[in-house]
Amino acid sequence: MSRVLVTGADGFIGSHLVEALLASGHQVRAFCLYNSNGSWGWLDSLPEATKAELDVVLGDIRDPLCVREAMRGCQQVFHLAALIAIPYSYSAPASYIDTNIHGTLNVVQAARDLGVQRVVHTSTSETYGTAQFVPITEEHPLVGQSPYAASKIGADQIALSYWRSFETPVAVLRPFNTYGPRQSARAVIPTIISQIAAGQRQIRLGALSPTRDFNYVADTCAAFLAVAASDAALGQVINAASNFEISIGDSAALIAEVMGAEVEILTDDQRLRPEASEVNRLYGDNTRLRQLTGWQPSYGGLEGFRRGLERTAAWFRDPANLARYRPGSYAV
């Protein structure tokens, strides 16, 4: 199996992808954000035997030399490093341009120079904005309803431009709303679960009417591996969606049911997006991913969503895991 580089390996999806790649026999180099504590982020929580298999590099995706040296000797690159919190993008938009757009430029330029065989660049369903038609296909217009979404649109186009201009072997994977163990409490599902797990019964949330197409993290990781293995995916934008739509309010009710709790939902104004920035509907079409790779969601539909929530809630209920969070506090 090939040596692969995972940027953003210290994050939620990145750490799960590292585990999936190791399980499939790859040699993994994990690119994590430099910090003075030498922390590997969520990779620190993996079993010692798993960590012993990793080649960890601390650096910064905004530094082209860091990126190039980390990529040297790797055949495939999974580019996940990004700033992703939508509320923080209202306060620090320039950081999103630096990290998401310039960081992606550093990745594809290094890949071109080093002759990397495959780059899988991570997009987001937020690039579509509120659905203008459903299910959302890859032909849906791109609408930047937040500085974060705009930065990811720019990053996607940089990646695709290298395929068109230089035949750099790039594929763009566009996951819809991924959830699962280790996710930041800035996201809605861990916000709900962590509050209930901490014993709170008045759950503070933002808007309840928007709908989302949730993907359990194992399905998202399987999509990354499937795209990396498909020559037909090169130059393509590919949705990773469950083809299932549910509102935030109904998701909260289902989580409460799964966790055996009676809850009251309170609207917290600081969790509300500006009106024109709220993405009111996301419901994706995964036809292209299925046709190109044979991928199928293992946690699709209402039944699959429930199973994914059960696994996620079980992880958060572990006191050692819950202690990493501040339930009820608003995480930007």
Q: DSSP readout, 275-291?
A: GGG---B--B--HHHHH
Flag whether pLDDT at 260 surpasses 80: yes
Average pLDDT (33-60) is: 97
In DSSP notation, 150-219 reads HHHHHHHHHHHHHHHHH---EEEEEE-EEE-TT--TTSHHHHHHHHHHTT--EEEES-SS-EE-EEEHHH
Question: Is the Cβ–Cβ distance between 128 and 176 less than 8 Å?
Answer: no
The residue type found at 69 is E
Sort strands 76-79 and 55-59 into parallel, antiparallel or unpaired.
Answer: unpaired
Confidence grade of residue 199 (pLDDT, cut at 50, 70, 90): very high
Query: What are the structure tokens assigned to 44, written together?
Result: 């620190």
What are the residues facing 3 on neighbouring strands? 27
70-94 per-position pLDDT tens digit: 999 999 999 999 999 999 999 999 9
Say how far apart CA 41 and CA 51 lie, in whole Å: 12
Question: What is the topology classification, in CATH, of domain 3-179+215-240?
Answer: Rossmann fold (3.40.50)
Residue 82 and residue 155 in contact, taking contact as beta carbons nearer than 8 Å: yes
Instruction: Give the pLDDT mean for 284-295.
Output: 98
For residue 249, which amino acid is it? G
pLDDT given at position 267? 87
Rounded-to-integer distance, Cα 81 and Cα 104, Å:
9
The yes-or-no verdict on residue 33 having pLDDT over 80 is: yes
Exposed / middle / buried, residue 254 (Cβ in 10 Å: 0-12, 13-18, 19+): middle
What pLDDT sits at residue 330?
A: 83
pLDDT, residue 112, reads 98
Q: Quickly tell me which residue has 């601390």 as its tokens.
A: 58
pTM over 0.95: yes
Q: What is the pLDDT of residue 331?
A: 77
157-197 pLDDT, tens digit per residue, is: 999 999 999 999 999 999 999 999 999 998 999 999 999 99
- The confidence score (pLDDT) of residue 270 equals 86
Run of H or E residues at 77: strand 76-79
Share of the chain above pLDDT 90, in %: 94
User: How deeply is 39 buried, as exposed, middle or buried, from its count of CB atoms within 10 A (0-12, 13-18, 19+)?
Assistant: middle
What is the distance between the alpha carbons of residues 304 and 215, in angstroms, rounded to a whole number?
A: 9
Can you tell me the distance from the alpha carbon of 232 to that of 260, in angstroms, rounded to the nearest whole number? 45
What is the pLDDT, as a whole number, of residue 309?
A: 98
Mean pLDDT of 16-44: 98
**Rounded CA separation 271/90 (Å):** 13
H/E element, 57: strand 55-59
Residues of the chain with pLDDT > 70, as a percent, come to 100
| Residues 279, 207 contacting (CB under 8 angstroms) | no
3-class state of residue 86 by DSSP: helix
